[in-house]
Amino acid sequence: MINKELTGVQCHDQETIISLCTPSGSGAIALLRISGIDAINIATKISKLASLKKLTDLPSHTIHYGLVVDSFGQKIDNVLFLLMRGPKTFTGQNTVEITAHNNPFIINNIIESALQAGARLAQKGEFSKRAFLNKKIDLAQAEAIKEVIHAQSEAALKASLSQLDGSLSNEIQKIETDLLKALSFSEASFEFIEDDQTEFDTQISAIVNKTLKKITHLKKTFHNQKQIKEGVRIALLGSVNAGKSSLFNELLKQKRAIVTNIPGTTRDVIESGIYQNGTHITLIDTAGLRQTNDIIEQEGIFKSGLEATKADIIFLVYDGSKPMLSSEEKIYKKLISKYPNKIILIKNKTDIENKISDRFSKHKTISVSCKNKNGIKKIELLLQKRIKKLFEKFDSPFLLNQRQYNTLISLEQKLQPVMQLLQENVAYELVSFHLKESLLCTSEFSGKTINEKAIDDIFKTFCVGK
């Protein structure tokens, strides 16, 4: 059950806190949030409204123009005050949001003025934590806030917003409702101990089996969601001087990697990101693959192998203008064999005329020339298709994080003995025990049964101001 500490908001969580909620640095507009039991009183102390009224005397959910002032009454900035009285706020507490000019000196002075008036600096994730403690959102929704902020694709943003609206919470609620029904059948069996209980067995078994199938599907979405959450990683691999860096620059539309005719120019991994069709793509230029005694180059080649493992898509580039060494061919064929579903084979330097037979004519390749830009558009179109295919695997309206996935595994492990028990001479006391343990797991998703330390650990991963 819920820890006693979480049954009511503690004094510490009623203290008035302040933080900048927009990115720090110079800019047009900044938003600061003050929340807590004394939020409106503190905002009143540091404000002078154009209407000459006081914030404490004004109605909730209203906006007011005025000045933020320091402890001597001197102007800090012209601002807007958004006044919101609890519990109809994000945190469930009295809240005042200040929209100011985004200059670091102004922001620091506003915060300092609020601190002198009785506020304290907010800790990481403290606003979201208060929203959770005041039952404005559950834990899964709180975690969705973090996912919304860090979404690397439109698909991730859509799923995170849906989760914030309760898509995951609703799914878990359905599982919880089903398991409660199964538990009621199990408990009812105690009263019909002498009667035929086959009907109870069948109903409990159907519910648990349905739940285990749901869990299997949810586990699949976790494994398929990496690209949705983090964007797509594309590694450019190939032998030295195959033109990987030139292709890297062409795809980026900028000169990011150094390009020379000297073999082994790229000795380390170079990363750069672009947004394309609503998806964040990370391109990775790697060291050329070859046998070498150069220790630094060897390290670069080792890192190239690691990037191949981590990549979602591999552009395997080879120089089509010259014969390939047997040692190089061996490396290429090994990569093609190891990553058949990841690799897009690219024949580069097709602007150079030659009569060389192509070692990879049996494989589907894209011919390109970074010099005259032939084939670049074809690569980009194929890339869009590959990314679309990756995303098609994901059909869930939410994104599971590692905590939620671990809880799901735990739920599965606690339900499996129930199926075994129902196939034997049923001891309904044991069935009820395992079902109750399973229900504790479902409560962990929403945070009903999670301890205070675990909650603190979760919210510490949030940004300050969230």
- pLDDT in the model for residue 393: 72
* Nearest in space to 160 (alpha carbons), one of 180, 138, 143: 143
pLDDT of residue 463: 79
User: What size, in residues, is the chain?
Assistant: 466
Task: Using the predicted structure, report yes or no on whether residue 214 has a pLDDT greater than 90.
Answer: yes
Compute the C-alpha angle 301/307/313, nearest 5°: 130
Query: Residue 392 above 70 pLDDT?
Result: yes
Higher-pLDDT residue of 98 and 265 is 98
pLDDT score of 7:
41
Of 58-72, 182-196, 435-449, the range with the lowest mean pLDDT is 182-196
Find out whether 273 and 320 touch, Cβ atoms under 8 Å: no
Grouping H, G, I as helix, E, B as strand and the rest as coil, residue 400 is coil
Query: How many CA atoms lie less than 13 Å away from 325 in the CB half-sphere?
Result: 10
Count Cα atoms within 13 angstroms, Cβ side, for 137.
22
Measured CA to CA, the distance from residue 105 to residue 80 in angstroms comes to 18
Retrieve residue 249's tokens: 């620059």
Residues carrying CATH 3.40.50.300, the chain: 229-392
Phi, psi of 27 (to 5 degrees): 180, -175
* CB contact set of 145 (below 8 Å; sequence gap of 6+): 128, 137, 164, 462, 466
Decide if 273 contacts 282 (C-beta within 8 A). Answer: yes
**Strands (DSSP E) along 92-148, which ranges?**
95-102, 120-121
| pLDDT at residue 266, as a whole number | 47
Can you give the pLDDT at residue 133?
Answer: 92
The CATH code of the domain at 4-138 is: 3.30.1360.120
Give me 143's structure tokens.
Answer: 């975690």
CB 243 within 8 A of CB 370: yes
Give ranges for CATH 3.30.1360.120 in the chain. 4-138
Mean of pLDDT values over 442-462: 81
- The fraction of the chain above a pLDDT of 70, given in percent, is 88
Report which of 436, 444, 440 is spatially closest to residue 401, judged by C-alpha positions. 444
Band (pLDDT 50/70/90 cuts) for residue 6 is: very low
Local confidence band at 458 (pLDDT 50, 70, 90 cut-offs): confident
Residue 256 has pLDDT above 60, yes or no: no
Predicted confidence (pLDDT) at residue 160 exceeds the cutoff of 50: yes
Q: What is the pLDDT confidence band of residue 260, given thresholds at 50, 70 and 90?
A: very low
Q: Are 287 and 316 in contact (CB under 8 A)?
A: no
CATH of domain 229-392: 3.40.50.300
* DSSP tag of 136: S
The arithmetic mean of pLDDT across residues 429-456, rounded, is: 86
Checking if the pLDDT of 140 tops 80, the result is yes
Q: What pLDDT was estimated at residue 265?
A: 46
User: Which of the pair, 373 or 361, is modelled with greater confidence?
Assistant: 373
| pLDDT surpasses 50 at 4 | no
| Tens digit of each residue's pLDDT (9 = 90 or more) over 91-121 | 999 999 999 999 999 999 999 999 999 999 9
Alpha helices (runs of H) in 225-267, residue ranges in sequence order: 226-230, 244-252
